[in-house]
Each structure stands twice: as structure tokens, then as C-alpha cells.
């Protein structure tokens, strides 16, 4: 909505609360999100450009200025420095599937990757490109939320991406549908009653530029940057479905 109001690029770092019913090493009910939305001039790769620049800069800066703190963490939980490229690798979903297939990993070509296949892909990417940080884009439309823009050349895919750090997702993003008609029909196709999201759809009615954005979970970024095995180690007061206090 801020982008519709003519802010060309906006971001927020804030607390996110989720009624997660997930009992994993990487899900909290309260985490810190970094969310950004921006006007797209020509292509959703402009959003991936921002992800690339922001995160390479963050990693560089942390490595440059936090050696003392990283060493302190390393005493308790030894880890190797993150491998990342100057220009972040981008693979299409289809390229990722192809790499997995060639390695003998079975995956649904129009579904989403499960945790095991994400890990397998990370190993293949590390071997081939020597990086632990990469973007996978052009996901199957069926694996993304209703507001994701379908690809113009093939609507089975979408203008969307996930970003992986040491084999786990840290960011989801993509281009949002900005046309009301398409937004309504996509919502219906996904079984959503459009009346329940009328405020969202109505805000698009008087002209909306093409736009996209992403959401990153910062505890996950810290956990994986330091190769830790549990997100609770990087949250001062971790909140999960079983832990409300202290
Ligand atoms: P996952 O598939 O791991 O459950 P998601 O697809 O639900 O994640 P998004 O809704 O796309 O995630 O959120 C964007 C980012 O926010 C994620 O990539 C992740 O870094 C972070 N995130 C999402 N849910 C959680 C959570 N419960 N705890 C910590 N971080 C989270």
C-alpha cells in the first residue's frame, strides 16, 4: 500500500508474530522480520538485485567489524566462515530441479522443494559454484501464495524466489499481482473468499504500479551465518508453541 502511495521503495524491520504449529529447529512464534517492497520498472530481477546487494553488504560488514564476536561464538560453537559470491548466484527452479534429477534426487517439478531436497541442492550448489548463499527463482505458481505474479511466458511458473543460506530458506519474495481482476481470480482459484480481503484488493483499484518485495527472518540469518543448529540459540527469549516464559 505504501508503494501504491508513491513511495518507490519501503522497508521495515519489526517483530513478526505467527501462530506457528511448527516444532522445528528453525521456527519461532515471534521473530524479527526484514520486509521490503518496491516499484518494479521492468522485471522482478530488480527485487533480487536488492536482496543481493543488501545481504552481500550485511555479510561483508559483519565479517569486517564483528571478528571478536564471531570468535567468541566460535569458541562455544566452532564454525567455518560463510562462503558467498560477490554477485549472488541465481538459479531458476527448473535448473535446480535438473541438478537434483541428475544427482538422482526425485522431486515434484511443479511442487515445492522439501527440506531434504533443499539440503541436497545446497550441497550440489556448493560443489559446483562454491557458494552457500544463492537465490532460486521462477517457482511453480502452485507453490506460491495467490498474490504472486504468474510468469508471462508460462503461467505454470511465477515471478517469485526463495533465498538459501547454508541449505535453508531465509527469504521469500516475488512480484505481487497489481491488477484487481487477476488478483480476485487468483484468490478465488486458491479458495479464498475475496470479501475477506476486500481492503487489500480495493487499495489497488485506483492505479497501482508493478511492484514486488521480500521477507527475511533475521534470527534465521544469524543462526545460519554462524552455522548454528537451532534458532533458539540466537533469540534472547525464544517463543515457540511450547514456550511462553520466561
Ligand atoms: P517456512 O517454509 O520455513 O515455514 P515460510 O515460507 O512460511 O517459511 P515466509 O512466510 O515466506 O516463510 O517468511 C519469510 C521469511 O521469514 C522466511 O524465509 C524465514 O526466514 C522467516 N520466517 C518465517 N516464519 C518463521 C518462523 N516461524 N520463525 C522464524 N523465521 C521465520
Which atom of ligand 1 is found nearest the CA of 214?
14
Q: Which domains does the chain have, with CATH numbers?
A: 9-234 (3.30.930.10)
- pLDDT number for residue 26: 96
**For 68-96, what is each residue's pLDDT tens digit?**
999 999 999 999 999 999 999 999 999 99
Q: With pLDDT > 90 as the criterion, what percentage of the chain qualifies?
A: 93
- Residues 28 and 17: their CA atoms lie apart, in Å, by 9
Lining ligand 1 with CB less than 6 A are 18, 20, 27-28, 31, 33, 169-172, 215-217, 219-220
The CA 86 to ligand 1 mean position distance, Å, reads 25
- pLDDT number for residue 182: 96
- pLDDT number for residue 178: 96
Mean pLDDT of 123-143: 97
Residues classed as catalytic: 18, 20, 26-27, 169, 172, 220
Mean pLDDT of 131-146: 97
Please tell me the pTM assigned to this model. Answer: 0.96
Rounded to 5°, angle at Cα 116 from 115 and 119 = 90
Q: Is the pLDDT of residue 115 over 90?
A: no
Ligand 1, atom 2: nearest CA belongs to which residue? Answer: 169
Q: Is the pLDDT of residue 111 over 90?
A: no
Ligand 1, atom 22: nearest CA belongs to which residue? Answer: 217
Cell digits for 158? 511465477
Residue 241 · residue 20 · CB < 8 Å: yes
**For 17-68, what is each residue's pLDDT tens digit?**
999 888 999 999 999 999 999 999 999 999 999 999 999 999 999 999 999 9
pLDDT range class, residue 112, cuts 50, 70, 90: confident
The CA 59 to ligand 1 mean position distance, Å, reads 20
Q: Which of 55, 220, 228, 241 to mutate for ligand 1's pocket (most ligand atoms within 8 Å of CB)? A: 220
Ligand 1, atom 11: nearest CA belongs to which residue? Answer: 172
The CA 51 to ligand 1 mean position distance, Å, reads 16
Mean pLDDT of 121-131: 97
**For 174-233, what is each residue's pLDDT tens digit?**
999 999 999 999 999 999 999 999 999 999 999 999 999 999 999 999 999 999 999 999
pLDDT range class, residue 110, cuts 50, 70, 90: confident
Amino acid at each position: 500500500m505504501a508503494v501504491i502511495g508513491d513511495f518507490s521503495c519501503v522497508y521495515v524491520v519489526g517483530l513478526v508474530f505467527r501462530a506457528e504449529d511448527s516444532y522445528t529447529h528453525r521456527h519461532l512464534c515471534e521473530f524479527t522480520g526484514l520486509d521490503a517492497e518496491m516499484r518494479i520498472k521492468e522485471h522482478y530481477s530488480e527485487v533480487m538485485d536488492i536482496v543481493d546487494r543488501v545481504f552481500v553488504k550485511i555479510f561483508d560488514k559483519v565479517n569486517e567489524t564483528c571478528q571478536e564476536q564471531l570468535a567468541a561464538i566460535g569458541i562455544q560453537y566452532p564454525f567455518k566462515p560463510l562462503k558467498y559470491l560477490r554477485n549472488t548466484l541465481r538459479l531458476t527452479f527448473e535448473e535446480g530441479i535438473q541438478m537434483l534429477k541428475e544427482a538422482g534426487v526425485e522431486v515434484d517439478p511443479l511442487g515445492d522443494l522439501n527440506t531434504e531436497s533443499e539440503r541436497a541442492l545446497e550441497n550440489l550448489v556448493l560443489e559446483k559454484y562454491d557458494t552457500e548463499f544463492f537465490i532460486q527463482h521462477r517457482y511453480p505458481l502452485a507453490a506460491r501464495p495467490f498474490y504472486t505474479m504468474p510468469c508471462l511466458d508460462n503461467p505454470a511458473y511465477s515471478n517469485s524466489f526463495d533465498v538459501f543460506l547454508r541449505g535453508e530458506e531465509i527469504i521469500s519474495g516475488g512480484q505481487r499481482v497489481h491488477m484487481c481482476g487477476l488478483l480476485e481470480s487468483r484468490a478465488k482459484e486458491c479458495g479464498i473468499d475475496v470479501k475477506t480481503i476486500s481492503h487489500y484488493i480495493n487499495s489497488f483499484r485506483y492505479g497501482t504500479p508493478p511492484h514486488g518485495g521480500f521477507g527475511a527472518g533475521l534470527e534465521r540469518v544469524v543462526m545460519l551465518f554462524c552455522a548454528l543448529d537451532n534458532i533458539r540459540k540466537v533469540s534472547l527469549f525464544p517463543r515457540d508453541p511450547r514456550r511462553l516464559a520466561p
